[in-house]
């Protein structure tokens, strides 16, 4: 089981010095990866389903990972997730490629379609069409990363006779990890994802989602070149050895626990606990 750490860019890690200390600790301890979250804005006052107080400090995930890259040497850098329909995919492709280049090939591109309508409204993004936009945006990013002559013509955006260098360091591109808990997310993961990421999902929920993804793959949705999807989960609560074994039996490849700690010292102790778990 690969063990990562969620929340490298917000909460306690929303302070840049704390972010760097946590990332260095994860790198030195042998954790496989560190992962960001993303909310450009949050509803004020907080109302369901908003996950955080409106004054929770969320650093931009790509800026944060670029900074973390300069202070670490081996740990993978995951976006968990980028809210794709709130982004222009042409600009995003450049930003992601830049993180992959400056980190010497350590980026994992996690994406999702989002769920907070007030956030979409604030940035002028299409909430009702977010699923279709997400699918098309993935295709546009891949075109810019992999086509000798990038081009795309779709419902939301179109380009041709352009190029964007540098391309990502990883070939053919950084791993794409699709987040989400719905059947639409399962289909998207089957169609586009090198992996799938489930947030705060227990073992039974993870097993159900894996079954949906496998079902779409058997139905021919998954391109053969993608192979088996890598399954990542942020569990609800702190993992134990027994819980790790249960997730592994269900087909999970990576756990990305969230410390949800109130201060830096507690977060660093959590990193040590995860390192001990990963070493067993």
The DSSP secondary structure of 35-84, one letter per residue, reads EE---SS--SS--TT--S-TT--B--HHHHHHHHHHH-SS-EEEES-EEG
Residue 213 and residue 229 in contact, taking contact as beta carbons nearer than 8 Å? yes
Can you say whether the dihedral through the CA atoms of 115, 123, 257, 92 is positive or negative?
Answer: positive
- Give mean pLDDT, residues 148-158: 97
**Is the confidence at residue 112, as pLDDT, over 80?**
yes
In angstroms, rounded to a whole number, what is the distance separating the alpha carbons of residues 274 and 280? 10
C-alpha span between 72 and 62 (Å, rounded): 15
Residue 266 CB neighbours (<10 A): 12
Whole domain around residue 105: which residue ranges? 2-279
The pLDDT assigned to 279 comes to 83
Identify the DSSP state of 167. P
Its pTM stands at: 0.97
With a pLDDT cut of 90, the percent of the chain lying above it is 98
Give the closest residue to 140 by CA, choosing from 180, 96, 199: 96
Which CATH number goes with the domain that contains 257?
Answer: 3.20.20.30
Residue 65 has pLDDT above 90, yes or no: yes
Band of residue 74 on the pLDDT scale cut at 50, 70, 90: very high
CA distances for 87 relative to 41, 93, 125, 204, 279, angstroms: 14, 10, 8, 32, 38
Instruction: Return the SS3 of 255.
Output: strand
- The token pair at 162 is 């352009």
Query: How many domains is the chain partitioned into structurally?
Result: 1
Handedness of CA 87, 72, 59, 46 (dihedral sign): positive
């Amino acid at each position: 089981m690969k063990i990562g750490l969620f929340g490298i860019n917000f909460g306690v890690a929303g302070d840049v010095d704390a972010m760097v200390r946590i990332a260095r600790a994860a790198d030195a301890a042998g954790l496989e990866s560190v992962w960001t979250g993303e909310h450009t804005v949050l509803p004020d006052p907080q109302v369901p389903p908003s996950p955080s107080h409106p004054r929770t400090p969320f650093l931009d995930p790509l800026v944060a990972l670029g900074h973390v890259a300069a202070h670490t040497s081996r740990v993978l850098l995951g976006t968990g997730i980028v809210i794709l329909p709130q982004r222009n995919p042409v600009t995003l492709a450049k930003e992601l490629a830049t993180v992959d280049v400056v980190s010497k090939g350590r980026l994992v591109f996690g994406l999702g379609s989002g769920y907070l309508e007030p956030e979409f409204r604030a940035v002028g993004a299409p909430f009702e069409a977010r699923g279709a936009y997400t699918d098309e945006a993935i295709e546009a990013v891949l075109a810019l990363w992999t086509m000798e002559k990038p081009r795309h013509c779709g419902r939301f955006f179109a380009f041709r006779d352009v190029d964007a260098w540098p391309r990502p360091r990883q070939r053919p591109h950084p791993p794409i990890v699709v987040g989400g808990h719905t059947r639409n997310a399962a289909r998207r993961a089957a169609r586009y994802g090198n992996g799938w990421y489930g947030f705060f999902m227990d073992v039974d929920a993870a097993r159900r989602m894996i079954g949906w993804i496998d079902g779409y793959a058997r139905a021919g949705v998954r391109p053969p070149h993608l192979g088996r999807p890598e399954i990542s989960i942020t569990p609800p609560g702190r993992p134990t050895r027994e819980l790790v074994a249960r997730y592994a039996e269900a087909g999970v490849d990576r756990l990305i626990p969230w410390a949800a700690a109130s201060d830096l010292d507690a977060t660093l102790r959590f990193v040590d606990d995860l390192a001990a778990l990963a070493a067993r």
